[in-house]
Amino acid sequence: MLDPTKLIRAAVLTARRLPDPRFSARSEQGFAKGGDVEPPAATAPAPTLEQTVELAKQTLASRPKMPVQKVVQPSVEMPAQPAATSNIDFEGEDHPAWIPQRFIVEKAGRKRDPNDRPKVDMDVLRSTPKLYQKQANIIRGYKNFPESMRSASDDEVMEHFITHVKDNLLTLHDFVEPNIRARSKKWYDGGRRIADSWAEKYGVPNYAVAGSIAALSPQTDWYANVSRAERVLDALKGNGQLAIEPHGLDNFYEDFKFSPQMKDRFFSVDEKGLPYSLNKPVYEPVYNMMAGKSLGDLDRLGLPEKEKAIAKAMWIRLYDEAHNSPEHKIITPEGDFADYVMTNKGERKGAGWGSLVEIAKAIRSAEATQPSQLSELMGEKHKVRNFYNNIISPNSRHGDVTMDTHAIAAALLRPLSGNSLEVAHNLDTSPPAGNPGAGGSDVTGIRGTYPIFAEAYRRAAKERGLLPREMQSITWEAVRSLFSDTFKRGKNSAKVEAVWDRYKTGDISRDEAINQTLEITGATNGLKAPSWHREEPVNQLNAPSPRAGDEGNVPVSGPYGTPTERDIGRAFGGNASSHEESARGGREKQKISADFGSHPAHKIPGIHIVTAHTGEPIFHGDE
């Protein structure tokens, strides 16, 4: 329901014909329409009460147009107040399948209240004094924290650092062209749109689709992430429709047996003569178990749930690499599929695969029948849990924010990688040798420095009238342009790091550090446009709301501004597939193995897996 107090205030403003440029609230449908309600013309008759209330509702459904200020935020010196959770009220409704941002391990004598919805914030971090102190000491050593403030209290350290990060995010946000900001903030609206579309297509709950996408996300770019999820869903629920050669089976899940092509893939070697990454002695028993069996047959082997999911994961990966095209498509923020992702050589890029553990979690998510099953599957770390929430409930009131490698790079305005200290601390992964971990708490479920960066994102979002996930989407897209993959492979990263070294020692101010960073990146005159963006005007889509009954508008243009028949078909329930065209176009000549490559190893109990490499853009990080 709309807040009666706000409704009355808006009605009074409308009746007076005085639009309030600062007053807005998110509509019950969950998506802002933008712009202020125009006042009636001076010569128009006085509106009726019904008209006044209706205009007031329109005012409440709109969002203010914040001024664009391309200025560098001033550095903040000694803060006056201790760090605490910002008192931000995120309007909107939670999807019933929203999960707590923190996973609290239940132990004897300590049970979690099932009605509690734990968030990741500074209040929780402060409730664990030793962890709070440890992380304040860690921040004192960061390049983005002035050496002159090392003797400040823990509260002052936290507040100064949060303010510094917030100001960095605002600087980066304001540096992005308004037309790109307007679209890039919609990444999770588009993610939800894909989840809803595939839920209908594959006959599963939308939270199951969101869980599959999130489970496959670590160390994976967004385009490949979505493609992998579609491949899993197609094998489990889609009757193998993505295959280059049609199978002609009524029940793929039960009737498609482990094929000769899958056997060939398992025993294949790459162009360097190295064996396929799963062709190891530890996998031979699993391979022998699969021979001649369908996915349905694996269900009837009586394996424990996790082991069965691993076996099905290996089956699906082998099947996909043997029978499907590896190429995949660019995705727009609104959830449309655009051109193919290309390599630097101008060839269509493969989606690759992650670890079997990730695929297994995606399978169990796709097969979930209750939302409660998703919480355990999303794990203990905050990033994947927030990513799932951002997809399934993009307008949640709890300020979910997905923070990966790029998100921390945006926060610090530095070209970080998955191996960077600050990234490891945020994601609670192993830091570089010789550095302490950020720590966590089983009692509160806090993992790493996530609450600190999340607080900065929430404050920055509030100052620009955005949701935290919208601020993250905008700055995520911007930092990928600022510090491209090519840029980070050269010597320029070291030059930027040297700039922030001088900031830490007090030789230059924050403003000077930012200006020098922009000069090194060559971005002083603006950022390179994203791969999904074109200069032509685009009629934007209104993605479906998490609330029933709001299915969005009928698309009138393609992702690049060119109308397409496919858009109209998809708007009325047509297929939203990143692979259907790949399958149709590749039936004459099958393309396997060449685009799969290798990736840094993942570890699962007793198994060492070398998985597939996928390059930029990393959507939500290296975990």
| 47 C-beta neighbours (distance < 10 Å), count | 16
Rounded to 10°, the helix 468-482/450-463 angle is 100
Residue 19 included in any domain: yes
- Is there a contact between 65 and 35 (Cβ–Cβ < 8 Å)? yes
pLDDT in the model for residue 93: 62
For residue 368, what are its two tokens? 């979930």
Q: Domain range holding 45?
A: 4-60
Residue 490 is predicted with a pLDDT of 80
Task: Give how far Cα 412 sits from Cα of 377, 497, 514, Å.
Answer: 31, 11, 10
pLDDT of residue 466: 97
Note the pLDDT of residue 219: 86
CB 582 within 8 A of CB 325: yes
pLDDT in tens, 582-610: 444 444 333 323 332 322 222 223 322 22
* pLDDT for the residue 185: 97
In a domain, 18, yes or no: yes
User: Is residue 315 included in any domain, yes or no?
Assistant: yes
> Residues 6 or more apart from 577 whose CB is under 8 A from it?
230, 242, 337
Residue segments in the chain with a per-residue pLDDT below the cut of 50: 1-53, 55-57, 59-81, 84-91, 108-109, 535-576, 581-623
Final residue in a domain of this structure, among 60, 77, 92: 60
| Residue 390 falls inside a structural domain | no
In a domain, 80, yes or no: no
pLDDT value of position 106: 62
Q: Is residue 550 part of a domain?
A: yes
> Residue 195: inside a domain, yes or no?
yes
Orientation of helix 154-175 relative to helix 450-463, angle to 10°: 50
Q: Which of 14, 43, 60 is the last residue of a domain?
A: 60
The answer to whether the pTM exceeds 0.85 is: no
Structural element, H or E, at residue 28: none
> Which pLDDT score, from 0 to 100, does residue 579 have?
54
Into how many domains does the chain fold?
2
Q: Is residue 203 part of a domain?
A: yes
Among residues 459, 332, 485, the alpha carbon closest in space to that of 406 is found at 485
Q: Residues 453-505: pLDDT tens digits? A: 999 999 999 999 999 999 999 999 999 999 998 899 889 999 999 999 999 99
Domain final position from 18, 39, 60: 60
